[in-house]
Amino acid sequence: MTHLADLIEPVRRGLRFAVAAAAAALLAGCQLFDIGTPELHEQAFQPSDNPVTIDSVTKNDKLAELARGQHPRILATYGGEYSDPKLERMVAKVVGNLTLVSSNPTQTYRITILNSPNVNAFALPGGYLYVTRGLLALANDSAELAAVIAHEMGHVTANHGLQRQKLEAEEALATRVASDLLAGSQAKETAIRGKLRLAQFSRNQELEADAIGIKSSGSAGYDPFAAARFLQSMQAYSDLRSVTGAADASLDFLASHPSTPQRVDLALRHARQFGAPGIGDRDRDAFLAGVDGMLFGDTPEEGYVRGATFLHPRLGVSFSVPVGFVIDNSAAAVTASGPNDMAVRFDGVALDQGTELTDYLKSGWVAGLEEPSVRSETINGNEAAIARAEAGGWRFDITVIRAGGQVYRLLTAAPQQSQQLDEVAQYVGSSFRILSAAEKADLKPLRVKVVTVQSGQTIATLAAAMSGVDKKLELFRVLNEIAPGGNVSTGQKVKIITDRY
């Protein structure tokens, strides 16, 4: 039997689609509607006109033209652009300061803030820079942001994108030749050696970009020790996410920028060339003023995860998963992973109002359908149909529900030998309901709120004031770079997460 662990990334790695491989074994040729808004995705496939631009990319620059072609895909992957004038001005100021000390003064840059909760930043050849609002929420001062952006500018000035592309092409050719000419084991060994060389090349690029970035940010007057500090913050956040099971780790900075103790040590070594810790400007107040009020986590277009419940104010629907399951939300689907390799997927399908739900279940999109199991149901007053299927070593419960003029699908997957499918599917299916007008109105997005610590307040009381998030105390510490045993002081500015902004 195929194990779920062999098909998908485990929860601790922050998977995006917990049931992706299982669903692929089950679904065929179905037309889904996106639970986001059409306006967002129409915008996502247009070239950026975001005002967060330092100069303009040269129109005749071939590298910039290559990057321009990738720009819409990046926007589509990372939720489009995030627009907030005061945040944009803060980021633009940091980029502007870095360009003044750039080793390549003829290089122009264009930076886009991405509307994604993932913690990431990256660059394309030609000067296209990207930073997510998730990264901005995690950073604590302008020096940390400068360290990240200078690192990405280092990739651009060192032409790492072109070097990487050339090496990948060479390795692909070598692997193809090996497959054609060598015996199976020899060809496989050649391919493995190529992958190892690519990985080493990537590590060398990251270390070179670190050195360039720290030199650049330090020369611009920022605290050069910020790079090492933020590497540690990102690792702490990644560790916290591995426990809470947050969004897709493949979209995060650490997926392509591994943080190791050795890398932090090297960053500290580069920083010491400027002097002892304490030198350089952190410009923390300006940074916090920029991120104050910024969206945190899910967007209204994608709905909200609140503990074990998913609520979508615009669609007006909600469902819950049992204790022990972790929900992950994306624009295309909502998934949840649970104990013993169980998983749940929620999405929607465009279906004619005249189509019977039982007929839809039998229409061919379910592989391994057990047709006698198809039956009509009513779930919390909504028309529904339920069926069972078996495919690829998995057993499935498929529940489709018509509500508010739309049809939604709840897919529960369990390994073939599992005895828990009935219990979990019943729990999830029966939890589906229509939100009341008052509930929809009360749902608000989470935002970063900068507050000043008052006399008598502690880490515990400040963390308790946060809403809509799990592990409040641990998250508060990570967001504010407070080490275990550390505390806050009166008058200090800190970030909290709340839906009551």
Residue 341 lies in a domain: yes
Q: Are residues 221 and 315 in the same domain?
A: no
d(CA 109, CA 125): 10
Count of positions (residues) in the chain: 501
pLDDT value of position 242:
65
For residue 381, being part of any structural domain is answered with: yes
Write the DSSP string, 132-189.
Answer: EHHHHHH--SHHHHHHHHHHHHHHHHTTHHHHHHHHHHHHHHHHHHHHHHS-HHHHHH
Is residue 444 within 8 A of residue 54, CB to CB? The reply is no
Asked which of 266, 293, 320 is the last residue of a domain, the reply is 293
Q: What are phi and psi of 421, to 5 degrees?
A: -60, -50
Instruction: Judge if 337 and 348 occupy the same domain.
Output: yes
Q: Tell me whether residue 159 is in a domain.
A: yes
The pLDDT score that the predictor gives to residue 271 is 94
pLDDT of residue 52: 41
* Claim to verify: residue 363 and residue 482 sit in the same structural domain: no
**Does pTM top 0.85 for this prediction?**
no
* Residue pLDDT, tens place only, 54-108: 333 344 466 667 777 888 888 888 889 999 999 999 999 999 999 999 877 777 8
Looking at the fold, whether 280 and 307 belong to one and the same domain comes out as no
Q: Are residues 426 and 485 in the same domain?
A: no
Element (H, E) at 32: strand 32-33
> Same structural domain for residues 382 and 325?
yes
pLDDT of residue 24: 54
Same-domain check for residues 364 and 486: no
- Residue 209 belongs to some domain of the structure: yes
Alpha-carbon dihedral 52, 56, 59, 61, rounded to 10 degrees: -100
Q: What is the 3-state secondary structure (H, E, C) of 180-245?
A: HHCCHHHHHHHHHHHHHHHHHHHHHHHHHHHHHHHHHHHHCCECCCHHHHHHHHHHHHHHHHHHHC
CATH of the domain at 437: 3.40.1000.10
Q: What CATH code is carried by the domain that includes residue 460?
A: 3.10.350
Is residue 279 assigned to a domain?
Answer: yes
CA atoms of 9 and 304, how far apart (whole Å) = 23
Q: Which of 293, 317, 351 is the last residue of a domain?
A: 293
Are 231 and 355 in a shared domain?
Answer: no
Could you tell me if 310 and 329 are in contact, meaning their C-beta atoms sit under 8 angstroms apart? Answer: yes
Query: Considering only CA atoms, which of 446, 401, 456, 403 is closest in space to residue 425?
Result: 401
Domain closes at, from 293, 318, 335: 293
Q: How many domains does the chain have?
A: 3
Domain annotation covers residue 465: yes
pLDDT at 197: 42
Angstrom CA distances, 286 to 141, 220, 282, stand at: 8, 16, 9
Same domain assignment for residues 119 and 262:
yes
Listed residue (465, 459, 447) closest to 489, CA to CA: 459
Structural domain span for residue 243: 40-293
Give pLDDT tens digits for 370-416: 999 999 999 999 999 999 999 989 999 999 999 988 999 999 999 99
288 and 317 share a domain?
no
The whole-number pLDDT of residue 259 equals 57
**Whole-number pLDDT of residue 159:** 55
Question: Are 451 and 430 members of one domain?
Answer: no
Domain presence at residue 298? no
pLDDT number for residue 215 = 94
What is the predicted pLDDT for the residue at 50?
Answer: 42
pLDDT at site 186: 52
Residues 448 and 293: beta-carbon distance below 8 Å:
yes
Report CA Rg, the chain. Answer: 25
Distance between CA atoms of 40 and 89, rounded to whole angstroms?
Answer: 23
- Give me the phi and psi of 132, to 5 degrees please: -90, 155
| Residue 79, pLDDT score | 87
For residue 1, the model assigns a pLDDT of 29
Low-confidence stretches of the chain (pLDDT beneath 50): 1-19, 27-60, 160-184, 187-201, 244-247
Nearest alpha-carbon partner for 228 in 258, 281, 271: 271
Q: Are residues 117 and 132 in the same domain?
A: yes
